[in-house]
Amino acid sequence: MRIALILAGVMLSLAAEPQEIYRWVDKDGIVHYADQPGAPDAERVQIANANEYEATPQEYGAGETYNQPPAPLPYESLAIAQPAPDQVFFGADASVTAAAELGGTLRSDHTLVFFLDGNRMPSEDGASAELTGLERGAHFLRAAVLDQNGAALLLSPQITFHVRLPSINTPQSPQAPKPPKPAPKPKPAS
């Protein structure tokens, strides 16, 4: 048991030590990296932390500043207000009004759009859209704020709603009144 603990301690201490890495270029111009020098002109490479990466300014696009955080969005939130998640609509001619709530005022160079099953839907006033011609089954709805180039700036969480055809088991309305029970027959007087 003691030997196992000692071996585990030695292995952990070896893993914690920084590794020596050597770099050299062979006669064919190929760059090699290894833990042992493979040529007399191999140079030792210093690695600060093997699990970190720090980009150079050249790796950023033109006009971007190194280590500068992106500009904050003028919107606090975006959510689907209508329909409710997992709401059920009945009928082959079901019409669903999609509406979104945006936390903030929509800028004139931005557009609020809806995506139904991954396809962009036309919107009348920018905050709602009428969804018609829906097939039976589950549908996925998401709203997005797009910039002037059509890039998504903010996405709402996706919701699912369902379109079902009326049947005996699922009538037109889930709250439909049940037919009244027949009145009990009077018992004959004895």
In the chain, where the domains are located: 78-164
Is the CATH code 1.10.630.10 the one for domain 78-164?
Answer: no
**DSSP letter (8 states) at residue 158:** P
Task: Give the model's pLDDT for residue 14.
Answer: 54
3-state secondary structure 167-185: CCCCCCCCCCCCCCCCCCC
Query: H helices of the chain, where?
Result: 2-16
**One digit per residue, pLDDT tens: the chain, 190 residues?**
677 667 666 665 555 555 678 888 888 888 887 878 888 888 887 765 544 444 444 444 444 455 556 667 788 889 999 999 999 988 877 889 999 998 888 888 888 899 998 888 877 667 888 888 888 889 999 998 888 888 888 889 999 999 888 766 656 554 544 555 666 666 666 5
User: Global pTM?
Assistant: 0.52
* E strands in 37-189: 43-45, 78-82, 88-90, 96-102, 111-116, 119-121, 128-131, 137-146, 152-155, 159-164
